[in-house]
Structure 1
Amino acid sequence: MPSYTLEVGDDDAVGDEARQVRRSVFIDEQGVSESEEMDDKDGAATHLLLSDGDRPVATARYRFVDETTVKIERVAVLSQYRGEGLGIRIMEAAEAAARDDGAMEAVLHGQRRVEEFYTGIGYEIVSDEFEEAGIPHVEMRKELA
């Protein structure tokens, strides 16, 4: 059984490795355009990275959208590592780090195909369906305090 390591840092610390996972999941697997996926928000975000040895396998990022609310984004787990609980682990780590940074609420845009994952960890749908990067999404919220 793999022993995963978690890193939390800014774009300089773990951004390149996080983008490797995002490229594999969002661009290669889901067909999101590179210009949409590789946006200008990485520099303002806190990145989380789970690695299996020296291989990045899961990531997420968050950034403050107001004084007490973070937006969790770019949550991705490599396909061969799904089903091992890494999505829950990266989300719990993102929520804990955001809470430590002073966040009281998290918002995210969840893909409809995985909304059950997010509702299962306490997020509530707060919008009608909308399209982002050609994929149906809903906005979701969770109190962190």
Structure 2
Amino acid sequence: MNVAMGEKQDSSLYNDALTVRKTVFVEEQHVPEEEEIDEFEQEATHFVLYDGDNPVGAGRFRMLDNHMGKIERICILPDYRNRGAGRLIMESIEQFAKENGISKIKLNAQTHAEPFYQKLGYETVSEVFMDAGIPHVAMVKQL
């Protein structure tokens, strides 16, 4: 498996990211599509995990200020979960952040995924809150 990245203008990669996101968030988790696709699509760098030519995972990264970034929309198709796919995409995003001078990353994790992010070095910094009808926690990591 390999990870590719690009901007929204890279229409093929962006469409592949949306395909995975819609499968996981809209179809599987019933997030309304108008909440899933938001105003930050244009400014984010999108990442897609491929198995051959097939998109199997996705995520995006946004710069928040000079030294802080935010990881969003991490998702893996069901058949690829618990096989290291999530770690691959997270490592690629973190490497990109480091290369761009980011020293701290935050993300909002669904509570069921909190242990996954803790294993990657993220620390929970909030109480549980609801986003798109799903319980989340805010997490941060120093790079």
Given the two structures, how large is their TM-score scaled by the length of structure 1? 0.95
Q: What are the superposed Cα offsets for residues 78-136 of structure 1, whole Å, 9 maximum, x if unpaired?
A: 00111210001100110001111111110000000110000111000011110000000
Partner of 2:9: 12
Q: Distance in 2 between matches of 1:65 and 1:95?
A: 14
Q: How many residues align?
A: 141
User: Where does residue 91 of structure 2 map in the other structure?
Assistant: 92
| Percentage identity across paired residues of the two chains | 43
Distance 1:138 1:53 in 2: 33
In the superposition, the TM-score normalised over structure 2's length comes to: 0.96
- Aligned position for 2:77: 78
Cα RMSD over matched residues?
Answer: 0.8
How far does residue 6 in structure 1 lie from its aligned partner after superposition? Answer: 1.6
Structure 1 stretches lacking a partner, 5+ long = none
1:125 aligns with 2:138: no
How far did 1:65 drift?
Answer: 1.1
Does the 8 Å contact 2:3/2:88 carry over to 1?
no
Secondary structure of the 2:121 match is coil
Partners of 1:65 and 1:124 in 2: CA distance: 19
Q: Secondary structure at the match of 2:4?
A: strand
Q: Provide the C-alpha distance between the structure 1 equivalents of 2:103 and 2:93, rounded to a whole number of angstroms.
A: 13
SS in 1 for 2:22: helix
Helix, strand or coil: the match of 1:89?
helix
Runs of 4 or more off by more than 3 Å in structure 1?
none
Q: Please report how far the alpha carbon of residue 49 of structure 1 lies from its aligned counterpart in structure 2 after TM superposition.
A: 0.8
The AA in structure 2 aligned to 1:110 is: A
- Extract unaligned runs of 5+ from structure 2: none
Partner in structure 1 of residue 24 of structure 2: 25
